Structure 1
C-alpha cells in the first residue's frame, strides 16, 4: 500500500476506491474509526461465515461497537465492546456463543490487537416466528 501525504492527512487508492485518512473528521476517516471498523468488520464477517456454514436460519444480523479511549495516553484505544444482535429461527444461544468464540479465534484483526486492546463480545438473539 502506498500513502500520499496531503494538507489534511493521508490518502491511499485501493481497488475498492479512494481512502482519505485525517485526524479531522471533516477531511476523512479518523484512524481510530478505521481500526474499530477493521476489528468489527473482520469479526462480523468471520462470525457470519461460520453461521452460514452451519445453516443457521438468520433474518438479520447487526453489530455495534462501543470504544473506550485513554485521553492521557494519546487517546489510545483501551477497550472495544462488540455487541451482536442476531434475529432468526431456531436459534440456540449456546451454539451461537460457541460459534462466536470460534470466530474470535479466526479473526485476524482481533488476534492482532488482543494483547493491547481489551475486546469484549456480547450476543443477543431474537427468535422470530414463522
Structure 2
C-alpha cells in the first residue's frame, strides 16, 4: 500500500478504489474514522463468518459505533463501543453472544489494539415475525 500526498491529506490507490484520508472530512475520511471502521468492519466480518459456520441465518446486521477520545493525550481513541443490531427469525440471543465473544477473540484488528483501546461489544437482537 502506498500513500501519496495531495493538496489536502493523502490518497491511497487500491486495486478497486481510491481512498482519501484527511483530518478535515470535507476532503476525505478522517484517520480516527478509518481506524474505527477497520475495527468494526473486521469484528463484524468475523462475527458473520462464525454465524455462517454454525449455519445461523440472520436477515440483516448493522453495527453502530461510539468513540471516546482523550483530548489531553493527542485526542487518542480510548474506547470504542460496537453495538451489533441483528435481525432475523428464530434467533437465540445467548448463542449469538457466544459467537460475538468468539469473534472478539479472532478479529485481528481488535486483538491488535486491545491493550491500548477498550473495545466494548453489545448485542441487540430484533426478532422478525412471519405475517
SS for the counterpart of 1:73 is coil
In structure 2, runs of 5+ residues without a counterpart are none
Residue 57 of structure 1: CA displacement?
2.3
SS for the counterpart of 1:120 is strand
Aligned position for 1:26? 26
In structure 1, runs of 5+ residues without a counterpart are none
1:53-110: CA deviations, max 9, x gaps? 2121211111100000111111100100000111111111111111001101111100
Aligned position for 1:60? 60
Alignment of 1:42-81 (within 5 A): 42-81=42-81
Aligned position for 2:97? 97
Aligned position for 1:110? 110
More strand by percentage: 1
TM-score between the two structures when normalised by the length of structure 2: 0.95
